[in-house]
């Protein structure tokens, strides 16, 4: 395979460095995927601790004859310039660049422009159906460790999981902080956009508008009307989203749709790597252990893409 250095959004205010991994075989045009990261500033390899899931996916899928495009996230490169913009939403953070990436692949004469796919991980998976609807126009949508819920619901659940594992004294302090955050979240959909832009909910920079705008474009509403192929994957030992509240809910809501395929992997965590500690309180330690994306996951994604 060959790694080509590229730039996404050269004509925008926010050009982003990326890598296009090209397979060795050249029997005609390549199918291709755009990789979209999870929450927070993230590099093109989606480095988390000592793990590089997007690098693993790029290498694994290109070995199967699929070209892969990955790039640095806008908030990683331009976070300082963006943080004072009170109107930041997932559109500016993620969606616009993913659409530019899809267009980039379509213009490459080596790619099959009818076989461009999106692989969204975590928050990227939640946004993938919206990215498709707003201009990505993919041949199919792959969601890895995503959720049909709202972002703030997932965050509150994660906070409560941490809370339940604390000692009595710490629990008392954390309970108050979580209750305060919960009351902020409860109110966001009653705010006007302008009020939401001036209401801080997390730290010094994250505004209510970020959650409100995303919550008003729920992933499940896009998925219910989608008739193109969808592949939904999750690790059974994922502690950031859960089988019960996320994967099973996807299945209950979309299980009758013939275009949707589901796959659950025993003993894999949120990065689709073998589970180490399996609990949210030890997330940092879990991701410090250097691992690779499970081969079966890569095989299933490539088989699914090549079957379309």
CA distance 255 to 219: 16
pLDDT tens digits, residue range 32-63?
999 999 999 999 999 999 999 999 999 999 99
What is the predicted pLDDT for the residue at 27? 75
The band of 166, judged by pLDDT with boundaries at 50, 70 and 90, is: low
Structure tokens at 154: 């997932």
pLDDT tens digits, residue range 179-212?
777 778 888 999 999 999 998 888 788 899 999 9
Please write down the long-range contacts of 13-18, taking CB distance under 8 Å and 24 or more positions apart. 14/74, 14/77, 14/78, 14/97, 16/71, 16/72, 16/73, 16/74, 16/77, 16/97, 17/44, 17/71, 17/72, 17/77, 18/44, 18/69, 18/70, 18/71, 18/72, 18/101
pLDDT tens digits, residue range 218-227?
999 999 999 9
Q: Which residues are marked as active site?
A: 122, 238, 270
The CATH number of residue 290's host domain is 3.40.50.1820
What is the predicted pLDDT for the residue at 163? 62
pTM summary value: 0.94
What is the predicted pLDDT for the residue at 164? 66
Question: Across the strands, what pairs with 117?
Answer: 33, 140
275, 187: one domain? no
Could you say which of 161, 187, 212 is where a domain stops?
212
Domain that holds residue 293: 2-148+218-306
Count of domains observed in the chain: 2
61, 191: one domain? no
The band of 276, judged by pLDDT with boundaries at 50, 70 and 90, is: very high
124, 252: one domain? yes
Crossing angle for the helix pair 208-215 and 168-187, to the nearest 10 degrees: 60
Contact status, residue 267 vs residue 275, Cβ threshold 8 Å: yes
156, 144: one domain? no
What is the predicted pLDDT for the residue at 175? 72
For 89-112, give one letter per residue: b (16+ CB within 10 A) or e: bbbbbbbbbbbbbbbbbeebeebb
pLDDT tens digits, residue range 298-308?
999 999 999 99
């Amino acid at each position: 395979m060959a790694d080509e250095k590229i730039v996404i959004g050269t004509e925008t205010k926010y050009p982003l460095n990326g890598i296009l991994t090209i397979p060795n075989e050249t029997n005609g045009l390549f199918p291709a995927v755009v990789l979209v990261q999870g929450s927070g500033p993230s590099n093109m390899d989606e480095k988390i601790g000592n793990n590089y899931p997007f690098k693993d996916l790029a290498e694994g899928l290109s070995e199967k004859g699929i070209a892969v495009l990955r790039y640095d996230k806008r908030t990683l490169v331009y976070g300082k310039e963006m943080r004072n913009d009170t109107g930041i939403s997932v559109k500016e953070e993620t969606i616009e660049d993913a659409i530019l990436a899809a267009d980039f692949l379509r213009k490459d004469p080596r790619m099959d422009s009818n076989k461009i796919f999106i692989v969204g991980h975590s928050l990227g998976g939640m946004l993938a159906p919206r990215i498709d609807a707003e201009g990505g126009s993919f041949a199919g949508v792959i969601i890895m460790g995503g959720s049909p819920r709202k972002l703030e619901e997932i965050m509150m659940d994660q906070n409560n999981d941490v809370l339940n594992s604390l000692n009595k004294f710490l629990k008392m302090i954390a309970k108050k902080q979580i209750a305060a955050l919960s009351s902020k979240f409860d109110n966001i959909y009653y705010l006007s956009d302008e009020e939401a832009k001036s209401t801080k909910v997390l730290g010094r920079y994250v505004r209510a508008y970020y959650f409100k705008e995303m919550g008003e474009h729920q992933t499940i509403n896009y998925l219910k009307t989608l008739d193109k192929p969808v592949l939904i994957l999750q690790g059974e030992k994922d502690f950031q989203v859960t089988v019960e509240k996320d994967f099973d809910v996807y299945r209950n809501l979309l299980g009758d749709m013939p275009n949707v395929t589901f796959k659950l992997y025993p003993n894999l965590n949120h990065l689709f790597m073998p589970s180490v500690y399996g609990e949210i309180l030890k997330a940092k330690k879990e991701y410090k252990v250097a691992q690779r994306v499970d081969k079966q996951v890569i095989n299933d994604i490539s088989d699914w893409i090549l079957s379309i």
